[in-house]
Amino acid sequence: MNTDITIAALQHVPAPNNLAAALRRLETSASQAADGGCDLLVVPECSITGYNQPLETMQQIALEAKGRTTDSISEICRQHKIAIAYGFAEKDGNQYFNCVQVIDSSGDIAGKYRKTHLWGDLDRTLFSAGDALAPVFSIKGWQIGLLICYDIEFPEAARALALAGAELILVPTGLMQPWRDVAERVVPVRAYENQLYIAYCNYCEAEGDLTYEGRSGIVGPDGADLDRAGKTPTLLTATLTKDAIAKNREALPYHRDRLPHLYKTLAE
């Protein structure tokens, strides 16, 4: 039985406050990824709505987690037989969240996460913080965790997902200048120390007064790049194997050799 999974990560130029364009781009990239044999497509942080928006604009364009847009994305998933992880600004009553949602190839919601570590005034002006990490869920037999952008810079967040069984962490992001080291140094370390795969999916070019770093990457459990973007629109792809996770965990038994009783203060 083949337990591999092939994933794609779309690095694209933002098209804020243009839902029709966002859905067309998603459908096109889903078709391309599916034609290339991919099982899962990831797009950046708030890709569907735009990220760097004035507060009033963001509140007008924010989407409910279940609604007409979700139905449209579900249809794309069913049509192309591919799962999609997409970022969007979520409206829930009178609150707004920076959210990523995953719809499986059958068109059903498989997982959802609200960003917990808010980045500076930009995030705090627009969003409330999520209050918990999302449960790990399964796509094609793979255990998948979700984080968003700044979250991956906190080692505890990735480690918590690894301890919950995650084999792959999806990280839609909006990494801007001058923080290129996060993409090129921090993300590979998170994959290496947790011995799992990370798909880190960023924008490129500009949105308002932000210039994005690009440098999206799919990183293996040994910390090595499987595919890495530059600063232009790119569809990354990689095939992930469970054997690579097992091999790295056998060679470096970080999970086995942890001493949790020494780290209790981390939760205080």
Which residues are designated catalytic? Answer: 45, 115, 149
Distance of CA 65 to the CA centre of its chain: 16
Using a 10 angstrom Cβ sphere, with 0-12 exposed, 13-18 middle and 19 or more buried, the burial of residue 36 is exposed
Closest-CA residue to 109 (of 151, 139, 142, 145): 139
Q: What's the rounded Cα separation, in Å, for the pair 202 and 11?
A: 5
Structure tokens at 60: 């007008």
- Cα–Cα separations (whole angstroms), residue 197 to 64, 155, 213, 261, 266: 29, 15, 21, 27, 24
Residue pair 54/17 in contact (Cβ under 8 Å)? The answer is no
Cβ atoms < 10 Å from Cβ of 96 = 18
Three-state DSSP at 57 gives helix
Using a 10 angstrom Cβ sphere, with 0-12 exposed, 13-18 middle and 19 or more buried, the burial of residue 227 is middle
Q: What's the rounded Cα separation, in Å, for the pair 58 and 60?
A: 5
- Cα–Cα separations (whole angstroms), residue 134 to 220, 233, 235: 22, 29, 26
